[in-house]
Amino acid sequence: MTAAFALGWLVLWEIAARAGWISRLFFPPPSTILLTLGRLLLTGKLAPALALTLYRLALGVAIGAGSGALLGWLMGASRSVRVALDPIVTALHPLPKLAIFPIFLVLLGIGESSKVALVALTAFFPMVINTLAGVQQIDYTYWEAAANYGATGTKLLHRVILPGSLPLVMVGLRLAVNSALVVTIAVEMLSAREGLGATIWLAWQTLRTEELYAVLVVIGLLGMVSNLALDRLTKQLTPWHSTHK
């Protein structure tokens, strides 16, 4: 049903653009966008931009989500750490990440470090919040059983905290990747000369809107692939989770 609706919408868009009912400059026909995407792939213009965007995204998510998960586990396992850090996380999380970007430019310069740092910061907060929630929702009986068997330190982490919190950790990772992808594209539009975001901005400045839409298609596909991959990974890592069908 969804596929039929999308196909019908694309056909209507194609007819409207070719009939002149809408501006082809701002709404080029889907066939033109598809041909442009093929041309960008064949000429090799798209591959370097995609690779650079993926590099910034992957590095930022690895740093931000990794540190966020560690802090979330620590806050969940230690009440004193949670009481000390939770107000800070709560205060900083709502801040628009792009509003912080000028500070990163001042501190880290206009190179890759500032861009990756902002992507990492974006991925950090969903992981902290979801990991903490994952630890807090673990049934108290598991903590009691672990204490009765003398599980502490790494044993407690491996036997109770990690498996008990993993479903929500994976939700946090999915949110982190999606948010980080949005910020990666936005940062590239603001301050990069290469990358998918920079390609979009250049296409808009030169009114090559068919290239703009073609890159948007690539970003949409990138989001779909990443979500499907994370969904598959979640099912493999948490086969016991009741929400899997």
pLDDT band at 218 (very low <50, low <70, confident <90, very high): very high
Model pTM score? 0.89
* pLDDT recorded at residue 243: 56
Instruction: Say yes or no to pLDDT of 32 above 80.
Output: yes
CA distance 107 to 92: 18
Local structure of residue 83 (DSSP, 8 states): H
Q: Are 169 and 131 in contact (CB under 8 A)?
A: yes
| pLDDT tens per residue across span 134-158 | 888 877 676 666 666 665 666 666 6
Q: Mind listing the pLDDT tens digit for each residue in 64-119?
A: 999 999 999 889 888 899 999 999 999 999 999 989 999 999 999 888 999 999 99
Q: Name which CATH class applies to 46-237.
A: mainly alpha
Report which secondary-structure segment, H or E, holds 63. Answer: helix 46-77
Which of the four pLDDT bands, split at 50, 70 and 90, describes residue 242? Answer: low
CA distances from 42 to 35, 38, 178, 200 (A): 10, 6, 28, 18
Domain boundaries, the chain: 46-237
